[in-house]
Amino acid sequence: MKRTDFKLDKMKNKCIGILTSGGDASGMNATIRAVTRAAIYNGFQVKGIYRGYEGLIAGEVKELTTEDVSSIIQRGGTILKTARSEAFTTPEGRKKAYDVLRKEGISSLIIIGGDGSLTGARIFANEYDDIICIGLPGTIDNDLYGTDFTIGYDTALNTIVECVDKIRDTATSHDRIFFVEVMGRDAGFLAQNSAIASGAEAAIIPEDRTDVDQLEKFIGRGFRKTKNSSIVIVTESPKDKNGGAMYYAERVKKEYPQYDVRVSILGHLQRGGAPSAYDRILGSRLGEAAIQALLEDQRNVMIGIRNNEIVYVPFAEAIKNDKPLDKSLIRVLGELSI
Ligand code: ATP
């Protein structure tokens, strides 16, 4: 018997659970479809768990067939719904989740989510080692270490660029400075790359926030000397109270009253919409790779993509490390926005 035949035989009739957790990201549906179809193709049974860890604890589980995931690759959001779960952060909550998995006969759990979701998966996997956990990076923030891209990032980036193009029209007509706030939590990938792609004058990002006041840097460079509008993309900053587009706009209003300043917070617009072709392909590849990983006896890993190749990243590595932003991007934006 070939090695793969043996694996297939061993895994046959085993049941895989799949859930989406944390913030929704476009491309999650493409990933659910890929996991479901690749699993069924390889002889597994698949059960969808609704509303993330919260729904798992509540026992919201239903079998998924190939038909259940048809015509969803092009849809944003997640058909499994998602949630944040306080209960899952407690040992009692995780015990309930474990009991539901046992009752449903689920022996492997595939978690699509961001940093928090994979942190939860890691803790759970350490407590209950008879459940195999595999993570898939699903977040618009692109902030997971060990993968070049996360599912949903490309779509959100394109949405931001489309919005900034529109803001540019009105900014130019009125000779205004716009501070545009984008998502990203503690990571500046969305802000930095959308600034480059939309021809914005500057990006204010967490990775560059420590030493020099970025607003001073931007103004010191002499913004608006040669332009009749300026756009500055700012990463939201829940942890840093002195951040966000409002903060910078207020400062410019006070310190440079001659300028006409406006703020635009893109908010949840960034999460919605049909996934880009890139996110559909990424979700399909990573979803299929999750099943291959199970066939190879992998466990407690996140499936990532590096240099266009599938990689297995141990949970501990994906969660503990901060993903660095390529500092040359800061230089590119600086040089091109003179
Ligand atoms: P996004 O990047 O889109 O915000 P995320 O996965 O990082 O996605 P979080 O809200 O941070 O979103 O986490 C999702 C869920 O993961 C939490 O609601 C919680 O149930 C679980 N989780 C997060 N951290 C832990 C933890 N330390 N222990 C157990 N569970 C956790």
Looking from the CA of residue 139, the nearest atom of ligand 1 is 3
Q: Of 110, 102, 104, whose CA–CA distance to 128 is shortest?
A: 102
Mean pLDDT of the chain: 90
Q: Residue for token digits 């309930």?
A: 96
The residue ranges of the chain whose pLDDT is under 70 are: 1-13, 209-214, 217-228, 238-242
pLDDT at 269: 95
pLDDT at 212: 53
Q: What residues are labeled active site?
A: 141
- Ligand 1 touching residue 141 (CB < 6 A): yes
**What six digits make up the tokens of 7?**
């694996």
Q: What is the Cα–Cα distance from 151 to 286, expressed in whole angstroms?
A: 9
pLDDT at 12: 53
Which residues, at least 6 apart from 224, have a Cβ–Cβ distance to it below 8 Å?
177, 230, 259
Give the distance (Å) from ligand 1 centre to CA of residue 322: 16
**What six digits make up the tokens of 12?**
């046959």
Give the distance (Å) from ligand 1 centre to CA of residue 83: 9
Q: What is the Cα–Cα distance from 120 to 284, expressed in whole angstroms?
A: 24
- pTM of the full structure: 0.93
Identity of the residue numbered 126: N
- Ligand 1 touching residue 117 (CB < 6 A): yes
pLDDT at 224: 55
Give the distance (Å) from ligand 1 centre to CA of residue 28: 16
- Ligand 1 touching residue 287 (CB < 6 A): no
**DSSP H or E stretch at residue 191:** helix 189-198
